[in-house]
């Protein structure tokens, strides 16, 4: 009886121990599972943070490159503006209607005024009246051909300044609604050409005068020789 009771108690104790051990094992497994889940979440979070940090650095580097590129572009634009504004040749952008859209300092100087007053004015107003038809024909041909065209014009600057002869190279811009004129001052060359023409004309007049005078002298010598022969004398002039 006592042995059976003891046996039953021991069995209960063993059963309790087994249940306790099993419960502990299950608890440990669950803890491992929790730790595994937490570790995975932490790893994913760390990976996400890493990716965000890398992406941020990439954006910062791209921003630095864009800033450098923009600075280079600004410097290039400044150089272009300086080259355009202070070029020795005159640059003018004209609309299809012949109005001045933009021009540089050299062009403004050739037209005898400042850039501000010249913008939006008609370019034809600055051309010598006798050459207006020539310019109109040249301007229409330029927009018809869409090719480079050239002409020479006399610009009327004003009553207190010398007029200006210019050689013009023109091309239609890509928008086809405007054109670019490059003007070169050829006043000195034209002045020399006119002086040369005047000198040639004076030379021809003098040559004609002396030739006429020489011919008249020859005729006079012939008459004198004929009179001398008729008088029984020898002729005096060899012709």
Nearest-CA neighbor of 142 among 102, 173, 111, 99?
A: 173
Q: What's the pLDDT score for residue 50? A: 74
Q: Helix (H, G, I), strand (E, B), or coil: what is residue 55?
A: helix
Per residue in 39-68, pLDDT (tens digit) is 666 667 777 777 777 778 778 788 888 877
Q: Confirm whether pTM is higher than 0.75.
A: no
CB atoms under 10 Å from CB of 157, counted, come to: 16
Per-residue pLDDT of 63-106, as tens digits, reads: 888 877 777 776 666 666 667 777 888 999 999 999 999 999 99
Instruction: Using alpha carbons, select from 179, 103, 191, 188 the residue that is nearest to residue 142.
Output: 179
pLDDT digits (tens, 9 = 90+) for 18-38: 666 666 666 666 666 665 555
In the chain, % of residues over pLDDT 90: 28
Cβ(118)–Cβ(105) below 8 Å: no
Planar angle of CA 116, 121, 125, nearest 5 degrees: 125
């Amino acid at each position: 009886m006592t042995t059976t009771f003891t046996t039953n108690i021991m069995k209960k104790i063993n059963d309790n121990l087994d249940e306790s051990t099993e419960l502990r094992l299950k608890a440990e497994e669950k803890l491992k599972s929790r730790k595994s889940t937490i570790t995975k979440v932490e790893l994913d979070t760390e990976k996400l943070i890493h990716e965000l940090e890398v992406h941020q650095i990439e954006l910062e580097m791209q921003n630095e490159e864009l800033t450098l590129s923009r600075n280079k572009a600004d410097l290039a634009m400044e150089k272009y503006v300086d080259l355009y504004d202070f070029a020795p040749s005159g640059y003018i952008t004209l609309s299809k209607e012949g109005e001045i859209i933009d021009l540089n300092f050299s062009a403004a100087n050739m037209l005898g005024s400042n850039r501000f007053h010249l913008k939006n004015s008609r370019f034809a107003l600055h051309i010598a009246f006798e050459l207006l038809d020539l310019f109109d024909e040249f301007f229409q041909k330029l927009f018809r051909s869409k090719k480079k065209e050239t002409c020479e014009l006399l610009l009327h600057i004003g009553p207190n300044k010398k007029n200006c002869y210019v050689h013009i190279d023109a091309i239609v811009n890509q928008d086809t609604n405007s054109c670019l004129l490059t003007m070169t001052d050829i006043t000195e060359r034209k002045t020399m050409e006119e002086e040369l023409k005047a000198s040639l004309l004076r030379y021809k007049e003098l040559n004609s005068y002396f030739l006429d005078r020489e011919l008249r002298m020859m005729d006079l010598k012939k008459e004198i020789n004929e009179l001398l022969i008729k008088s029984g004398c020898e002729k005096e002039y060899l012709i």
